[in-house]
Structure 1
Amino acid sequence: MTAGLDVGAPQAQSIASDQDVVRVRQMVRTVAVAVKLSLVDQTKLVTAASELARNTLVYGGGGEVLVSIVENGRRRGVRIVFTDKGPGIADLDLALTDGYTTGGGLGLGLSGARRLVDEFDIETAAGKGTRVTVTKWSR
């Protein structure tokens, strides 16, 4: 799947199965390498993306991800947007609390994913789903 990936263009992937979570990991790794993130930052970003993709599948009932290369004038980075149309997060403050988990994921939760990236934004509404945007910048 990633062999012919045009990393310069935004990459979209549906998340409807465990295999899709694996595809998201591969796609994020490929783009992170293209942006020249350090190995440590690649690992952090792939780990966060894996957790967020799993959350999209398990709690959001599936959704999609968009992976893009971004620039801020001085450096390049990878921006990843996860979107689902699930039930939303009832208690966002609780969900962002360190150590909070409902089980089944890597045990990082949203707070762990937030610590692994440089920018983290979440929008959620009951019955309307959740959108999580993360960015990791090259050093």
Structure 2
Amino acid sequence: MRQTLRECLVSIGFSLIEQTKMITAASELGRNTLRYGGGGEAHIEKVTDGGRRGVILSFIDQGPGIADVNLALTDGYTTGNGMGLGLGGARRLADDFELITAPGQGTTVRIAKWKLF
């Protein structure tokens, strides 16, 4: 997925720094999908919205969900042995961040990066 994402970002004209931010965020969210959600799906979508082009990434799992979203977004919080930077870090690295979750319902995280044209 990382190479496909990089190619998509390059085709839109994102800088190396912007590419690195999104690839880092995608890696963190993908790891969370596997580790905490038991696996799932990841989707890359190139989009145009008014005067901007961008990429939307979606990570979807059918895992246990997140009981306390605010706590999960707190840097340093982890239910595993990671550093606890995944969700909060991804939110900071992306332009848009959406988290849909409920205990027993799984989790969907969508992030977007936009470029004006």
TM-score (norm 1): 0.78
Q: Percent identity?
A: 59
Q: Aligned pair 1:33/2:14, yes or no?
A: no
Structure 1's consecutive aligned runs of 4 or more residues displaced over 6 angstroms after TM superposition are none
Following TM superposition, by how much is the alpha carbon of 1:138 offset from its aligned partner in structure 2, in angstroms?
1.6
| 1:32 alignment partner, SS class | helix
User: What is the one-letter code of the residue matched to 1:88?
Assistant: G
Q: Which whole-Å CA distance do the structure 2 matches of 1:88 and 1:45 have between them?
A: 23
Q: Which whole-Å CA distance do the structure 2 matches of 1:94 and 1:65 have between them?
A: 24
Q: Which whole-Å CA distance do the structure 2 matches of 1:78 and 1:105 have between them?
A: 27
Deviations 1:117-139 (A, max 9, x none): 00000000111100000000125
| 1:67 alignment partner, SS class | strand
CA contact (8 A) 1:69 1:76 kept: yes
Deviations 1:91-113 (A, max 9, x none): 11100112323455575221111
CA contact (8 A) 2:77 2:83 kept: no
| 1:78 alignment partner, SS class | strand
Q: Which residue of 2 aligns with 1:112?
A: 89
User: What is the one-letter code of the residue matched to 1:62?
Assistant: G
Unaligned 5+ segments in structure 1 are: 1-23
Q: Which residue of 2 aligns with 1:66?
A: 43
CA root-mean-square deviation: 1.5
CA contact (8 A) 2:94 2:113 kept: yes
Q: Which whole-Å CA distance do the structure 1 matches of 2:85 and 2:65 have between them?
A: 19
Unaligned 5+ segments in structure 2 are: none
**Could you say if the C-alpha distance between residues 73 and 65 of structure 1 is closer, same or farther in structure 2, counting changes exceeding 3 Å?**
same
Aligned residue pairs, count: 116
TM-score (norm 2): 0.91
Q: Which residue of 2 aligns with 1:52?
A: 29
Q: Which residue of 1 aligns with 2:72?
A: 95
